[in-house]
Amino acid sequence: MTTSAFAVNLAASAGAALVVMLVTFAVALVKGVHRIVDIAWGLAFAAVALVTWVLSAGYGDDGRRLAVTLATLLWGLRLALHIARRGRGHGEDPRYARMLADAPGSPALYALRKVYLLQGGLVWLVSLPVQAAAYLPQGADVLLVAGLVLWAVGLAFETVGDHQLRRFKSDPANRGRIMDQGLWSWTRHPNYFGDFLVWWGLYLTACASPQTAALTLVSPLVMSGLLIWGSGKRLLEAHMKGRPGYAAYAARTSGFLPRPPRRQPPAPRSGASGSEAG
């Protein structure tokens, strides 16, 4: 890897993520809702991938560059489109409404610091494997193939999960019910688990050299932390836990890693307590 060229890429990709977030912030002020920043999350990754692909020409292996760029673009654009379609016609996201209701000083400037600039920084950090892989001179190897396979499984997992949830919610008969079908019977968060696989897969594409493997390990670790303990699983479950039927669903369904649902204990027979003795 050419260190000086990669350093330029790091700066340019930070600029690309920043531009996407600042433009989204301006649009959010006009529309009066900050939920559109979730659309910008995928778009910012796509912007970083495109900038990296252009700047890495002549430095990294062309096949690896193209594969990693297309993988990131497909993931980012699919996610942005899905979130845009899901949020159409809705008002502000309750998470941002609560945050800004307690904002010290100007809510707009608080949102800029705590949401847009923070997410732009996270995009830059999480995308390090995408940037590093594009500058590797090695051609296709086992790790590249394994990474792309893992990426594909993750993308399929979250795409199918999102489709199943959208179809479930579109049926008026399911209003107020907890989605517990398809992939959602194996994990409470198939979309987050899919993202988890996507970013560990993209990390593997940057592991052709020990240096890039060590440099970029922080990225999938940070993404995993966000999905499981940060703004993903933890916050969503805090929002859902009071809904009727959710406790039973959580008791039988894995919190993250997919597995068959647990069997429900049989209902006690009429007139029987915990023991039949006496």
pLDDT reported for residue 240: 78
- Is the residue at 11 inside a domain? yes
What CA–CA distance (Å, rounded) separates 230 from 200?
17
Read out DSSP for the chain? Answer: --HHHHHHHHHHHHHHHHHHHHHHHHHHHHHT-STTHHHHHHHHHHHHHHHHHHHTTTTS-HHHHHHHHHHHHHHHHHHHHHHHHHHTT----HHHHHHHHT-SS-HHHHHIIIIIIHHHHHHHHHTHHHHHHTT----S-HHHHHHHHHHHHHHHHHHHHHHHHHHHHHSGGGTTPPP-SGGGGT-S-HHHHHHHHHHHHHHHTTTTSHHHHHHHTHHHHHHHHHHHTSTTHHHHHHHHTTSTTHHHHHHHS-SSS--PPPPPPPPPPTT--S----
Q: Is residue 208 part of a domain?
A: yes
Which pLDDT belongs to residue 27? 95
Structural contact between residues 167 and 209, judged by C-beta atoms closer than 8 angstroms: no
Sign of the torsion angle spanned by Cα atoms 166, 179, 157, 229: positive
Domain assignment of residue 272, yes or no: no
* Tens-binned pLDDT, residue by residue, of the chain (278 aa): 678 999 999 999 999 999 999 999 999 999 989 999 999 999 999 999 999 999 999 999 999 999 999 999 999 999 999 999 988 878 877 778 887 888 888 888 989 999 999 999 999 999 999 999 999 999 999 999 999 999 999 999 999 999 999 999 999 998 889 999 999 999 999 999 999 999 999 999 999 999 999 999 999 999 999 998 887 777 777 777 778 888 898 999 998 999 999 876 544 444 332 322 22
Residue with tokens 């999350």: 41
CA pair distance 177, 168, nearest whole angstrom: 9
Query: Does the residue 179 lie in any domain?
Result: yes
Q: What is the pLDDT of residue 26?
A: 96
pLDDT of 235 reads 74
Can you give the pLDDT at residue 271?
Answer: 37
Give how many domains the chain has, as a whole number: 1
The answer to whether position 146 is within a domain reads: yes
> Domain range for residue 181?
3-87+104-252
Give a yes or no: residue 42 inside a domain: yes
Q: Is residue 54 part of a domain?
A: yes
Give me the amino acid identity at 149. Answer: V
195 lies in a domain? yes
